Amino acid sequence: MNKIKVMVVDDSALMRKIISDMLNRQLDIEVIGIARNGQELLSKLETQHPDVITLDVEMPKMNGIEALKELKLRNINIPVIMLSSISKRGAELTMECLEAGAFDFIPKPSGSISLDIDKVLDDLTEKIRLAYNKKVLGKLNKNNEHKIVIKSFKKDKEFVENRPNHTKRIQAIVIGASTGGPRSLHTIIKSLPPKLGVPIIIVQHMPAGFTKAFAKRLNNNSNIEVVEAIDGDNIERDKIYIAPGGFHLEISKDKKISLNTDKTIWGVRPAVDKLFISASKVYGSNLMSIILTGMGKDGANGTVEVKKMGGYTISEDESTCIIYGMPKMAYATGMVDIALPLKDIPLHIVKSVMGVRR
């Protein structure tokens, strides 16, 4: 069996050992090298060739974000998973890392020195495998680029020609995303006009302690105000709400934010299905739902409910997904009106919302 080769980067010798030992116990993963900071990582990459890098966010000499930017400058295309402490600064730096190209991140359970890092072992190994598979698939896609473009064009053409017309006024937009979602959401939100005229409510799978920094970073790059949702908030036009980590977000009949800690769905909280299903009951045929990149099937049931109520449903096309899981499962329901590459979604939103006379 070819093992996934991993480089572990952390300024703590204890953390390097704990993480390495933990990963080496996996049958399909092997740690081939360690580094104390970004500078040492770059030096070691001259002779060592990992498939995936785990990278601490906060380090001396060269931290995670500086290392990521340098990897990009040197055109070193190795997927990187950030390990971040749950602190205000750690969360803010993590969001910057995701924007700079990190594949995903894992929170350290109890700060920089997390002796209980084994609590996130399953998440870490799962994301290492996803990152590796994405890297391998990316190489295959590059070798077959011409064939894939033709296939994608035919699929998109079929969607465009066969989708039903939706002439109802859109009153609200709900979006669900997971792995790769922060960058996709940034791409969409920064492209929207300041007076779109509808609220946007988002569930991005993200642990507690990080969604506030995520909302803040989106807000700094958006024409529309972006906030972390608060229980009881009135849902306002021209405002974007991010579900806080650790809470399901539902929309009440009187169009207010309702947060709860009901049991997880598909192993996550917040869950896209919770948002979509509740929104479909409130907005009916005046709702638009969008499923973006992510692993698993969260959002598929919600997409069905949105369509049953006459809403308009969109999924991100496979060609631009970091992980084609959630959009694939939504599409498989037969309830998706149109699949679009990421770059086409913002304009489609604007035309769908503003193109129908109020």
Q: How many residues does the chain have?
A: 358
Q: Is 223 helix (H, G, I), strand (E, B) or coil?
A: coil
φ/ψ of residue 24, rounded to 5: -65, -15
Distance CA 178, CA 185 (A): 10
CB 273 within 8 A of CB 299: yes
Catalytic residue (one of 11, 298, 317, 337): 298
CB 267 within 8 A of CB 207: no
CB 7 within 8 A of CB 35: yes
Name the pairing type of β-strands 257-260 and 248-251.
antiparallel
Number of neighbouring beta carbons within 10 Å of residue 145 = 10
Closest CA to 280 of 250, 311, 255: 311
CB 255 within 8 A of CB 235: yes
φ/ψ of residue 59, rounded to 5: -145, 155
* Residue 114 C-alpha from the chain's centroid: 25
Helix (H) or strand (E) holding 352: helix 345-354
298 is catalytic: yes
Catalytic residue (one of 178, 184, 289, 315): 178
Tell whether omega for the bond before 270 is within 30 degrees of 0, i.e. cis.
yes
205 is catalytic: yes
CB 226 within 8 A of CB 238: no
φ/ψ of residue 45, rounded to 5: -70, -10
Closest CA to 270 of 234, 242, 307: 242
Catalytic residue (one of 10, 205, 248, 258): 205
As a whole number of Å, the end-to-end CA separation of the chain is 60
The catalytic residue positions are 178, 205, 298
